[in-house]
Amino acid sequence: MALAETISRKVHKLGLVPKAIKLLPVISFLLAVASVSWLLSLPLDGNYRNTYISENALMPSQVTSYFRESEWNIVRGYRGELEFLEQTSNEQRNLKMEKWLNDIGLVTAYHHNGFTKDTLYAIMHAPRGDDTEAMVLTVPWITSEGEYNLGALALAAALARYFSRMSIWSKNIIFVFPEDSHAALRSWVAAYHTSLENTAGSIEAAIVLEYGKNGDYFDYYEMFYEGLNGQLPNLDLLNTANLIGYHEGLHCSIQGTPGEELTKNTYFTRLRTLVRGIVALTLSGLRRNVPGCESFSGWQIQAITIRAKGSKGPHDVTQFGRVVDSTFRSVNNLLEKFHQSFFFYLMLSSKNFVSIATYLPSAVFLAVSFALSSLGCLLNSGVEASEFVNNIGRLLTIFTLIELGGFMLSLLLPLLTINTPLELQDEVVLQILLVLSIFTFILALSPLTLKKQFKFFKLNKPLTFGLISLSLFFISMLITTLLIVHFSLALLVGFLSLPLTFVQPIITQGLREKSARALEEDKLFEGSKKDPLSQIVSLGRADKAKIKVSLLLIISSPFFVIFLAGSYFDPENGVSLMRGLLTSWSELQCWTWYVVILGWFPAWLGIALSCVFGNFEVDYSAAFNDTKKEI
Amino acid sequence: MWNKVLVLLFCAVFAAAGRYYNESLDLKPLPRNKLLASFQFNVESLPFDLKYYDTSAELQGNHHYTYFPRALGPIIESTNTRELHLRFTQGWWDSESWGRLPSSGFQSGGTGVEVSALIEARDVQTAKANWFKLTKTLSGFFCASLNFIDDSITTFPKHAASSQNHTNYSSQPKNKLFFIRAALPSEPICTENLTPFLKLLPTRGKSGVSSLLDGHKVFDSLWHGMSIDVRTDCDSKTCSLKMLQSVNQVVDIIRSKRKKEEGGLPKPTPGNKLRCDDTKTFNAWQCFPLSDPTNLEWSLETIYGRRIIGPAFADDPESTVINVDTEPSTWKVGLSKNRGDVTESYHISGPKKNHISEYLREQVKYDFQFETSNSSVVNPIKAPPLYVTRSLTGYSQDKGGLRVTFTNPSDEETVDFVYFESLPWFMRLYLHTLTVEVKKDGEIISNAIDTSYIKDRFYKPAVDRKRPSHLELSISIPPKSSLTLTYQFDKSLLLYHEYPPDANHGFAIEPAVVTIFDKDGNDIYEARTTSLLLTLPTPDFSMPYNVIILTCTVMSLAFGTIFNLLIKKVITEEEMEEITKSSKINIAVAKIKSRVQQLKALIKPKKE
Which segments within B213-318 are labelled E, that is strand?
A: 223-234, 239-252, 296-299, 308-309
Q: How far is B279 from chain A (nearest CA, A)?
A: 11
What mean pLDDT do residues B66-85 have?
Answer: 87
Nearest Cα residue to B218 out of B241, B247, B258, B196: B247
Tens digits of residue pLDDT in B186-204:
888 888 899 999 999 988 8
Nearest alpha-carbon partner for A49 in A305, A323, A357, A281? A357
- Would the CB atoms of A201 and B532 count as touching at under 8 Å? yes
The beta-carbon neighbor of B267 closest among A66, A161, A198 is: A66
pLDDT at position B129: 92
Chain B nearest CA to A584, separation (Å): 19
How far, in Å, CA of A287 to CA of A580, rounded? 6
Q: Does B541 touch chain A (CB under 8 A)?
A: no
Judge whether residue B7 has pLDDT over 50. Answer: no
Using a CB–CB cutoff of 8 Å, tell me whether B540 touches chain A: no
* Helix and strand element counts for chain B (H, E): 12, 26
- Asked if B34 contacts B222 with a C-beta cutoff of 8 angstroms, the reply is yes
pLDDT at residue number B316:
81
Contact assignment for B506 to A129 by CB distance below 8 Å: no
At residue B282, does pLDDT exceed 90? no
Q: Reply yes or no on whether the pLDDT at A83 is more than 60.
A: yes
Contact A162 B266 (CB under 8 A): yes
Q: How many helices (H) and strands (E) does chain A have?
A: 22, 13
Among the ranges given (B38-52, B138-152, B314-328, B496-510), the one the predictor scored with the smallest mean pLDDT: B496-510
A386 has which bridge partners? Answer: none
Q: Is B526 helix (H, G, I), strand (E, B) or coil?
A: strand
The enclosing H or E element of B257 equals: helix B253-262
CB-CB: which of A129, A161, A197 is closest to B389?
A197
Report residue A464: phi and psi, to 5°.
-60, -55
Whether residues B287 and A127 touch (CB distance < 8 A) is answered with: no
**pLDDT attached to residue A290:** 84
pLDDT at B16 over 50: no
Distance CA A192, CA A185 (A): 10
Contact between chains at B266 and A193 (C-beta distance less than 8 A): no
Indicate which of B260, B281, B375, B395 best probes the interface with A, i.e. most A CBs within 10 Å of its own CB.
B395
Measured CA to CA, the distance from residue B105 to residue B107 in angstroms comes to 5
- The dihedral built from the CA positions of residue B273, B279, B282 and B288, taken in this order, carries a sign that is negative
- Structural domains of chain B sorted by starting position, each given as residue range(s) with its CATH number in brackets: 4-60+73-372 (no CATH), 387-534 (2.60.40.740)
- What strands lie across the sheet with A252-254, from one edge to the other? A107-111, A119-124, A172-177, A133-138, A202-210, A302-309, A220-224, A252-254
Q: If pLDDT is split at 50, 70 and 90, which confidence band does A499 have?
A: very high
B21-72 residue pLDDT tens: 889 999 999 988 899 999 999 998 888 888 787 766 665 656 777 788 888 8
- The answer to whether the CB atoms of A107 and B94 lie below 8 A apart is yes
Secondary structure class of B353 (helix, strand, coil): coil
pLDDT for res B8: 46
The domain A83-263+289-350 is placed in CATH, from the list 3.30.1280.10, 3.30.70.580, 3.60.20.10, 3.40.630.10, at: 3.40.630.10
Can you state the angle between helices A461-485 and A487-496, rounded to 10 degrees? Answer: 150
The ipTM of this complex is 0.85
Mean pLDDT of chain B: 86
Q: Is A104 in Cβ contact with B503 (below 8 Å)?
A: no
Residue to test with chain B: of A76, A99, A128, most B Cβ within 10 A: A128
Alpha carbon distance A11, A13 (integer Å): 5
Tens of pLDDT, residues A311-359: 888 899 999 999 999 999 999 998 888 888 889 999 999 999 999 999 9
pTM for this model (two decimals): 0.88
Q: What is the pLDDT of residue B395?
A: 81
**DSSP track, B433-486:** EEEEEEEETTEEEE-S--TTTEEEEEEE--BTTTB-EEEEEEEEE-TTEEEEEE
Mean pLDDT, residues B574-601 taken together: 85
Pick from B86-100, B153-167, B263-277: least confident:
B153-167
Q: Report domain extents, chain A.
A: 27-44+358-630, 83-263+289-350
- A121-130, A179-188, B564-573, B598-607 — which is least confidently predicted? B598-607
pLDDT, position A629: 53
Asked if the model's pLDDT at residue B331 lies above 60, the reply is yes
Longest dimension (CA), chain B: 138
> Average of pLDDT values for B323-328?
89
Nearest CA in chain B to A318: B268
Question: Looking at the complex, does the CB of residue B529 fall below 8 Å from at least one CB of chain A?
Answer: no
> What is the average pLDDT across A365-393?
89
- Average the pLDDT over A184-194 and give the result: 92
Flag if A80 and B405 touch (Cβ within 8 Å).
Answer: no
- Chain A interface includes B504 (CB < 8 A): yes
Contact B155, B180 (CB under 8 A): yes
- Distant-in-sequence, close-in-space partners of A619: CB < 8 Å, separation ≥ 6: A382
Contact A107 B222 (CB under 8 A): no
